[in-house]
Amino acid sequence: MTIAASTGNATTAERAVVVSALGVTQIFAWGSSYYLPAVLAKPIAAEMGWSLTFVVAGLSLGLAIAGLVSPRVGRLIDRFGGRPILAVGAVFLALGLAALGFAHSVVGYLLAWIALGLGMGAGLYDPAFATLGRLYGHGARSVITSLTLFGGFASTVCWPLSAFLEARFGWRETCVAYALLQVVFAFPVHLLVLPREPEASTAPQSQEIASPDPGPAAAKGAGPFILLASVITISSVVSTVMSVHLVTVLQDRGIALAAAVGLGVLVGPSQVGARAIEMAIARFHHPIWTKLVSTSSVALGLGLLWTGISLPAVALVFYGAGIGLESIARGTLPLAIFGPARYPIIMGRIARPSLLAQAVAPTIAAVLMESIGVQGMVAAVVLTAICNLCLSLLLFRWLHR
């Protein structure tokens, strides 16, 4: 039986059930899509005889598809609620994973990632945040923060699980196992645990951005939206580039592979730790402060890494904490600025440039490494992070003007 919709008036127990259920499905949604190539790319390339670059490019294709469909996903969540959309996302993830497991050609491989892209567009953070915003209104900030705590464990859970399944059964069977998990677990959880919401009215949507909830924080015009989308997109670019190339950057500093991987592990706990602190103190400050601390920490951490300090662990802790807080700011800041009335639509529109940028950013970074060296690429990322901090300060000034 589904929990009755209670938009903004749900009990603590009901919210805990919803967040826990959505959190577990998010772990496996991220782990079986975004984080999948980290473990399976090499065995796929070895069996199929493809280059590793081409195999990883499947993820770029998936992210691009997710970005293209995100505005439509936001409108559907605004119209019908997140429950059916997230369930459909699980179906597309299952179809894509099954197709990946049975792919024996380039065409089959790319079609699998197109399906996975549709699943990511309808099933990762942005649709989940939009769902919580539609359910709980301004009260969604705490549950969004709680959800990111679950999401922080996606790689921690799924990288070892993927490695175990691949070593025991093979990469194809691993994909099929994840597909079955989406069908037998994620799909029914979305339908049976998430509240059933009434459909929104079919009023014209020509003022999706210009007609947010009234109030002192309500945005007027397209300028604030463009600024907000810019800082979120740039943050996504920085984190995606570093998640792909971090080990290479550390090795360029003369750190052995095993040690570089061990240092990289610090990023995950730093994310979760920062999110836990934010959850404890969130009620005392506006989400713009979360964004400012996030962009400042990322810029500081990457700056320290670029300077080659003798303790790279310190740099990675700052960086990890920053990107951990960014996930929270990505969901809570649009809600605080624009209000809950059109929140799903706004999240869908913000997701498009962010996901499209993530699709191409690692490749651009690789080109930079080949042309100006690893440290030159890191310097470019540091400058990008500093520019993002400046844009965040502009957004802060606008909010307090």
Of the two residues 214 and 385, the one the predictor is more confident about is 385
Q: In sequence order, what are the residues at sequence separation of 6 or more whose Cβ sits closer than 8 angstroms to the Cβ of residue 347?
A: 74, 126, 127, 129, 130, 133, 331, 334
User: What is this structure's pTM?
Assistant: 0.82
What domains, with CATH codes, occur in the chain? 12-192 (1.20.1250.20), 223-399 (1.20.1250.20)
Between 115-119, 192-196, 390-394, the lowest mean confidence (pLDDT) is in 192-196
Alpha helix segments (H runs only) across 81-170: 82-101, 106-123, 125-136, 140-151, 154-168
Q: Return mean pLDDT, the chain.
A: 85
Provide, rounded to the nearest whole percent, the portion of the chain with pLDDT above 70: 91
Q: In sequence order, what are the residues at sequence separation of 6 or more whose Cβ sits closer than 8 angstroms to the Cβ of residue 223?
A: 398
Cα–Cα dist 369/329, whole Å = 30
pLDDT of 35 > 80? The answer is yes
DSSP β-bridge partners for residue 196: 4
Q: Per residue in 269-320, pLDDT tens?
A: 888 888 888 888 888 888 899 999 999 999 999 999 898 777 888 888 999 9
Alpha helix segments (H runs only) across 257-311: 257-264, 267-281, 287-307
String of DSSP letters for 309-361: -S-HHHHHHHHHHHHHHHHHHHHHHHHHHH-STTHHHHHHHHHHHHHHHHHHH
Stretch 134-145: mean pLDDT: 86
Tokens (6 digits) for 103? 């792919």
Cα–Cα dist 266/374, whole Å = 21
Q: Per residue in 249-270, pLDDT tens?
A: 888 888 776 777 777 777 778 8
pLDDT in the model for residue 374: 85
